[in-house]
Chains A and B, each alone.
Chain A
C-alpha cells in the first residue's frame, strides 16, 4: 500500500458526510438537479464528487465493483483504507464505479427482486461533461421537466421500463453530482 492512500478522506466525517448525503439525497429526490460536494481527495482518475459519494455511502457492508479505468492499484488501496468495501465482480455489486463505457453492459448489475426492488445496484458514473441540457427527464421529483447530459438514453429507457426493478445512477463530474433513479422517464433531446 502506498502512503498516498492514507490521505484524501473526510477530515471530519460526521459533518462532512452529513452535508454530502444531503446533496446526494436532494439529487436523488430531484433527478437532473446538480449539486456541489467537497471534502474528498481521491487518487486519479477519480473525481472529487465520486470520492465523496464512496465515503458517504459505502463501507465494509457494501460490495463495490471498480470498472475499467477506475480499477487501479492506487484506488484499490484508497478504498481499502478509507472505506473497506469488498471489491467484487459486477453482478454481486451493491455499488459500482466507473465511466459509462466501462460499466457496459449494464445488464450485468443487480436490479433487485420483484418482492425486494431495493436490493439493486447503485452505479456511480464518472462523467467527463456533467451539466444541465440534453436528455429530457420527467417523473417523480420533477415538477415539469429537467434536462441532463446522459450517456446511453436507450439503456435508461430500458431500465425505467422494468420499474419497480432497476438500478439507480449517481452521476459525478469534478465536484458536482446529479442522480437518475429508475423512476425517471428519459427521452432523447
Chain B
C-alpha cells in the first residue's frame, strides 16, 4: 500500500463532514462543547486523537502545518503528527510559528502573537472543566445549561483557603463571552491571557471524550478569579538560560545530580529565533 492509497488527510469524507458540522456549531456557540462521533485514529488516546481529527477536517493542500508538544517542535508527539499529515495530506510543514497557517498544539500557545488566517488546534484530554468536581455528565450538562458555575468558584476558593493563593497553575478555567465556563486544555495559566482577543481561530478537539469546542477570533475570554485574589499569569522568576528572554514560559531542566538546573524557553521556535538574532542567556554560549 502506498501513501497515495489514503484519501486526502486520512479521514473519509463522511467523517470529515460530520466533524466540519460540529466545528461550525462550536464556532457559533463559543465555549460550548459539541459532541461528535470521534473515530479511532492510528495513535493511542492521549496522543492527540481529537486534535488530529480537527486538523484533518480543516487542512487544505495549500496549508503549512506546525505541530508543537509543550511548545517544542522536536518531541515525539509533535514529530509523529507532523509526519502523519505530511504523508497522508502531502502538506508542507514548518517549525516557524510565523510561517504556519495551521498549528496543532499540545498544552501551549506559541509566544509569538498569532495573526488572522492562522488556525490553532488544541489537543484536549478532559474537555469538561467541571468533571473533577462532578463526575456525572448528566449533571455537568445541566450545570452548563443553567450557568451554575458556583462549584468552580468553590474549588478556587478552597485553593485560597488551603494555599493562600489560587494554586491551579494549568488548565485554568475561563469564561467565554460571559456565558460558558471552558477548559482551555492543560496550557499553563501563563498562556491564558493569549486566549482572549486572539486574531487566530482557536479549535479544541477531545478524541476520547468526543467533544469539539471553539473560540472565534477576538472572543472575550476571562480567567475566573476573585476581586481580592485576581488572576495572575505566573511563570518561573527567571530568564531563559539560552536566549535570555525574560517574558517567555520556561521549562526547568535538571542538568546534574548536584542540584544543577537551567531554565529554557518551552517554545523552541521562539528561543531559536531569539538566539539567531544574537540574544544570549546565562548559558547561551555553552549550549
Chain A residues with CB under 8 Å of chain B are: 13-15, 17-19, 21-22, 24-26, 28-30, 56-59, 61-62, 114-118, 120, 122, 139-143, 163-164, 168, 181-183
Chain B minimum-CB-distance residue to A58: B17
Picked from B35, B58, B214, the residue with its CB within 8 Å of the CB of A21 is B58
Contacts of A181 in B (CB 8 A): 27-29
Cβ–Cβ contact B30 & A17, under 8 A: no
Cβ–Cβ contact A18 & B8, under 8 A: yes
Contacts of A26 in B (CB 8 A): 201
Q: B182 an interface residue at 8 Å Cβ cutoff?
A: no
Cβ–Cβ contact A141 & B219, under 8 A: yes
Contacts of B61 in A (CB 8 A): 15, 18-19
B239 to chain A, nearest CB (A): 33
Most buried by A among B16, B17, B201: B17
Most buried by A among B29, B145, B220: B29
Cβ–Cβ contact A18 & B9, under 8 A: yes
Cβ–Cβ contact B29 & A164, under 8 A: yes
Most buried by A among B18, B215, B218: B218
Contacts of B24 in A (CB 8 A): 24-25, 28, 57, 122, 168
Q: B177 an interface residue at 8 Å Cβ cutoff?
A: yes
Cβ–Cβ contact B27 & A18, under 8 A: no
Report the bound CA distance from A19 to B101 in whole Å: 14
Picked from A14, A29, A115, A142, the residue with its CB within 8 Å of the CB of B13 is A14
Cβ–Cβ contact A115 & B142, under 8 A: yes
Report the bound CA distance from A114 to B28 in whole Å: 15
A90 to chain B, nearest CB (A): 19
B109 to chain A, nearest CB (A): 17
Known: A29-B217, A143-B217. A117 touches B14 (CB 8 A): no
Cβ–Cβ contact A13 & B13, under 8 A: yes
Picked from B22, B179, B199, B215, the residue with its CB within 8 Å of the CB of A118 is B22
Chain B residues numbered 1-40 whose CB sits less than 8 Å from any CB in chain A? 7-9, 13-14, 16-18, 20-30, 32, 34-35
Report the bound CA distance from A13 to B14 in whole Å: 11
Report the bound CA distance from A183 to B141 in whole Å: 20
Contacts of A122 in B (CB 8 A): 21, 24
Cβ–Cβ contact A25 & B27, under 8 A: yes
Cβ–Cβ contact A118 & B17, under 8 A: no
Chain A minimum-CB-distance residue to B6: A14
Picked from B7, B25, B220, the residue with its CB within 8 Å of the CB of A120 is B25
Cβ–Cβ contact A114 & B145, under 8 A: yes
Q: B238 an interface residue at 8 Å Cβ cutoff?
A: no
Q: B59 an interface residue at 8 Å Cβ cutoff?
A: yes
Contacts of A28 in B (CB 8 A): 24, 27-28, 216
Cβ–Cβ contact B29 & A118, under 8 A: yes
A53 to chain B, nearest CB (A): 10
